[in-house]
Structure formats: C-alpha cells, structure tokens
Chain A
Amino acid sequence: MNVLLEILVYGAVQSAVYAMLALGFCLIFGVAGVVNLAHTTFFMIGAYLIYTLTSLANIPLPLGLVCAIFGTGLLGIAVQHFAIKPLIKSEYSVMMITIALAFFCQELVLSVFGPVDRNVKGFIDEKLTVFGLVDIDAQRILTLVVAVLLIVLLWWFINRTKMGNAIMAVAQNREGATFVGINATRIFLVVMFISACLAAVAGAFIAPTVGARPHMWENPLVRCFAVVVLGGLGSLEGTILAALIIGYTEVIVSFTLSSYLSELVILGIFMTVLIVRPSGLLGRRQEA
C-alpha cells in the first residue's frame, strides 16, 4: 500500500513537471508549426531570473516570481518577432535559429553567472507527509498544485475565451482564420508568450529543488521532445497523457528495477509507440 501511494504521489509530481514543460512546446508547434528548440531555454531563464530578482536584488519572492514569469514571456515575444517570424516559412531554419539561440543563452548565462550552480529560493522549505505515509519536500507538492492549476487554466483559456477560440482557429486553418479577420501573427505572439511563461513557471518552481545551472535546459529539452512526440505533435491532451506515461514509467522503473534503467524503458516505449502509431498517441494521422 505504502509503495503504491509513493508511486502515485511521486509519479504525479514528475508527470506534472513534464506536462508543464511540454505544454508550451506543444502549443507553439500546434498553432504556429514552430519546433522551438529554445523552449527549455525559457525554463532556464525563468530559474535564473527568479534567482537574480530574489537572491541578488532581494525582491520579495511573490513579486520576483511574477516579474520572472512576465519577463520570460516578453522574451518569448521578442524571440517570436525577431528570430522566428522572419524564418517561419522554413521549419529547418526555425529549428536552426532556435537551437542557436538556446546555445547563445547558455553561453550568456555562463559568462554572467559562471558555471557553478546557483541556489534558488523556494516558497516552502519543509517536509510534507502526504496521506500520512509519503514523505516529500513541500516545494514539489506546490509544483504539482501549480502545474494542475495551470493546466486547468490553459484548458479554460483555449476552450472558453475568445482569444482561445482564435488560437484554435489559427491552429486548425491559418488561412481560413485570416479570412475571418484573425491576425495570425498576433496569435503567434500570444501563444509564444504563454509558452514561454509556462516554461518560466516550471523553472521557477523546479529550480529551488535542483538548483540553477547553465546547462539545465538540455536534458528537459530531450524529455520535452519525447513527451510531445509521444503524445502527438500539437495535441494538448496527448501531451498530458504522454507526460503521465513518462512520469509514471520513470517512477515505477525506479521503484521496481533501477533508476538508471528508466531512461532505457522510456525510450523503448517511445520507439514502440512511434512504430505502431507514427502520429503519436493522440496526434492527427497525416494522409500520404
């Protein structure tokens, strides 16, 4: 019973982190067709911004958090406008410019902050015992709560607001949406803002438990890519499902075999799904 509860809680936390990271990546691909390889760079920037604002500038944590998220969102808009928009017709050029941007940001962070890890302040610095049995640091539970809230909020925004409907319209048929007066370029900027903000939230909430370092974007990018492809490129529901599969698989393998094997098992699942269903779990099947 104890083990099952532990798997339930730790798996939920891990899945929430992956979902929060991958949703933005999925959103910008689904709407603008942009494979943004600099997506997890926003995750790193969010972590460093909150470190700078709260630890160096001594701004109170809630205000620092808002500034870090908003600042990263604005950076996302700048990236979309100045780097991606001019190249948007060529997906390879977009991939090249975004990966170059990711390395540029890494080097920039390296030169400003140096290679050593930075300690990022968290909201809660305590241990929690969930269901009276599962010990976990409270910051991770907070991350889970925030992730769930953001997913619900995103779902509401996409499905229940005018802007959300416009985003869906552009995602489904860009030309058609333009004909009915939707400004697709503006929609791309909004989506990139949301996408960057989501990554920054992930950075700001995860960094207190793992620290901030210049290379922290690399591993999550690979994981993010795996989640989005597994779920089906452009499918938000698929992304959440894939995040749950990968998050829980990682935890179950760590519990039953060895944490070292979790990577192997996840890649096995990833390849199997792609062979059986190339469009991903909930992705739209493309006609030949």
Chain B
Amino acid sequence: MGGLRKFSVMALAAAFLVSLAGSAISAEKVIRWGVAAPLQKEAGIGSKNATIMAAREINAKGGILGHKVEVFFADDEARPEAGIQAVKKLIFQDKVDFISGGWLSGVGLAQADHIFNAKKLWLSVGPATPKLAQMVKSNYDRAKYFFRVGCVNSDYFAYDMAVFAEEFYKKKLGLTKIALMAESSVWAREMATYLKTAFNKKGMQIVYMDVFDPKRTDFSPQFAKIRRSGAQVLFTVQAASPGVPLTKQWAETQLPVHQAGYSLSSQVFNFWDKTGGKCYTEVTQLINGGRAPLSPGTIPFYDNYVKEFDQCPPYTAFGSYDALYLLKYVAEQIKSLDTDKLIKALEKVDYQGVAGRIRFTKDHEEVYGEEGKLPVWIQWQGARKMEVIFPFKYATGKYITPPWIKKK
C-alpha cells in the first residue's frame, strides 16, 4: 500500500513537472507560417499583404492557442526551379510549421514533392490545377498535407465560366459565338480543353481558338482571325501574361467582340492605369473574393485592404488571409497544432471565410457553388470602378457594351 502511495505521489509529481515543462514550451513556441509566392507580381504581393494583415490581427488578439504567429516569405519568382528553392528555404532555413501561398500551377506541381517529404501542412492559395488534388486521391498518405484554400480548381472555374457565358451572354444578351484564347501555362491549357466541350454543351459555338505564349505582345493575327470568324465574345484565360498588350490592342483596334474571361492582372485597380483606361468594359472572373457580400467579412476585408495598401485584393490575398484564419479556427477547435489532427479537422471543417464558405471535398479541393465557393464576375467601368455583374444576386452595376460595338 505504501509502495502504491509512493508511486502515486511520484506519478503526480512527474505529471506536474511535465505540465510545467509543457507550459514553458507553450509560452515560448511561435507558430512559423511560411509563404512561398511570386513576391514581385500581383498574386504574390497580394499574398504577402494579406498574410501580414491576418498575422497582425491574430497576434493582437492573443495568437493561435496562445502562440504568436511569425511569418516568413520566400520568392518563387513564378518559376518552378525558384519555387523549389523557395519552399526549401522555408522548410530548412526558416523551419516553418506550415506553408501557404503559391500562384502558378507549374510551380505548385514542382513544389509538391518537397512539401510532402517534409510533411508540412500546405494551405495552397494559388495553383488551380486539379492535378494537386488528384495526388491526394491517388496517394492519400503522402499527399494529404495539401489543401486548396484560395480558390476552387481550374475545372470549376472553367465550369463557372461556361455558366456565366450561358446565363449572361447567351440568355441575357443573345450572344452565342465564342472566340477562346488561352495562354500556354498548365492550368490555362487544361481550362481551354474543358471549355471547348463545356461551351458546346451550353449551346454556344467556339468559332476560334488559340493558345498563346504568355510573353506574346502582338495579337494582330489572332484578332484578324477573330474578326473574320464572326465571334461575338472573346474569352481569354491568362495569368502569367501581363494582360496589357491584349487588352490595349482589343480596344485600340476596336475588335468587334465583348471581352471576358480570366485575367489575373485585370483583377486589381492598377490595371486601369496600366492600360491607360483601355480596359473599359472588359469583364473578368474573380475566382476568390471580390467586393460582393459573399460572406459577412468580404466587404470589410476588401475595404480594409484597399485602405491599407491603396490597391484592391487579388484572389490570392483573400486566400492567404483565409488560410491563416482557417488554421486558427481548426487549431482552436481541436486545441492542437498537431499536423495529422489538423488534417482530420480540416477535412470536416465548415468555415465562413472572407471570400465565402470553406469546405473541402475528400480530395482536399474547395467545394464549388452555393454550398461552397462561388466566383464573381466584374466589369471595368472606370478607374477603380469594378462593378460586379454576375451572379445576378450580387450585381452592383449594369453591364456596359464596348462603345465601338454599340456604335454599329
């Protein structure tokens, strides 16, 4: 009996010491949050700004589970080789606990193996290729660390593009002839392949299609063919391309087509200045966020971001902000920062982010649609005037036809 008492006292003392040691570690521990992104480009600048905002707000309110968040950045230069070096820097030099950021799919695909080897939770906000989620599907134990937080995958935003084309151009404006131009990056080609069938299924006809080098600056041959094809709407898919040459030539040559699509550079305020206002009436898809009431936090976040950075947030900014808050949300739910436990919690999460509702499929994709993320479509109607035109329930302005088309 005496032995048992002695053992109990010792066990209690040991437990007390362990808890003391634990709390000492806990007080010192800092959550190291790494962001690999193209820090010289809109997407990367957006990620950096929004991460700083989120970390500052979270730290001001006591951090995550009492731990301060420290952020680290690495420039992936929008190149696969630099992207690998960037994640290696974050993993081995900065010793981060979690990885976020990203932009181009080619870079994300190159980084994947390195992040999986390090077993780091990867809340990816940029790359849109479905191939990353397919890795989770085909080899869950290795790739389970990947979650796509900042946007739905390119299949979904291609689907959304087809929905928009049908609802807006076909049903509302009676336009059915489409010209499709996609840059030659991985995700854009995937989207173009998908769109070819999707537009046809929706009763629209692709009368011209081209894949172009993102460095291309002269679109005269393509536009001549579009003019002859009888196309009514030009859909572009471009992220690595600067967007400026295409838009300027569209306006300056008065190409007789409406212009819409996905163009990363046209998602931020400075596109108006970059094009000298030639983007007037151009329509672009915002795959994550936008100044629409997608959630109670959307418009306040948007306005705060504009106030602080004098620029509107690109989709990666919404994603990066949500990624850090999402980690806080699940970590505080399960009261742990253990990676495997966090993965399990994320798989079941239903969180209201600033860009809308975040839920994941079993392959760690974000859920698309009314029950998840819904892209919005904006039209350029003036300097800093990006009016939401679709989905109709979020519309903030009426559609304007390009002036040279109206004249006819």
Contacts and interface: CB of A to CB of B under 8 A. Distances in A.
Contact of A137 (B42, B210, B252): B252
A208 to B, nearest CB: 8
A115 B41 CA distance: 7
Contact of B248 (A10, A116, A126, A209): A209
B203 to A, nearest CB: 26
Interface in B250-296: 252-255, 265, 270, 273-276
A255 B225 contact: yes
A252 B312 CA distance: 40
B249 interface: yes
B275 A119 contact: yes
A6 B252 contact: no
A135 interface: yes
A117 B274 contact: yes
A210 B41 contact: no
Contact of B224 (A6, A125, A126): A6
A131 interface: no
Contact of A209 (B224, B252, B274): B252
Nearest to B225: A255
B210 A260 contact: yes
Given A14-B218, A117-B274, A211-B248, A135 B210 contact: no
Contact of B40 (A110, A125, A137, A211): A110
A121 B244 CA distance: 14
B6 interface: no
B248 A210 contact: yes
A260 B211 CA distance: 6
Nearest to A7: B221
Contacts of A115: 40-41
Interface string A189-210: 0000000000000000010011
A154 interface: no
Contacts of A6: 220-221, 224
A13 B220 contact: yes
A255 B224 contact: yes
A136 B215 contact: no
A260 B213 contact: yes
B59 interface: no
A116 B275 CA distance: 11
A110 B45 CA distance: 14
A155 B213 CA distance: 34
Given A116-B270, A119-B273, A259-B212, A135 B254 contact: yes
B227 interface: yes
17 contacts: A3-B224, A10-B220, A110-B40, A115-B41, A116-B274, A119-B275, A135-B255, A140-B220, A209-B249, A210-B218, A211-B245, A219-B215, A251-B221, A255-B224, A258-B211, A259-B212, A260-B184
Can you list the 4 inter-chain pairs with the closest CB atoms, starting with the nearest?
A254-B221, A137-B252, A119-B276, A211-B244
Interface of A: 2-3, 6, 10, 13-14, 110, 115-119, 121, 125-127, 134-137, 139-140, 206, 209-211, 213, 219, 251, 254-255, 258-260, 263
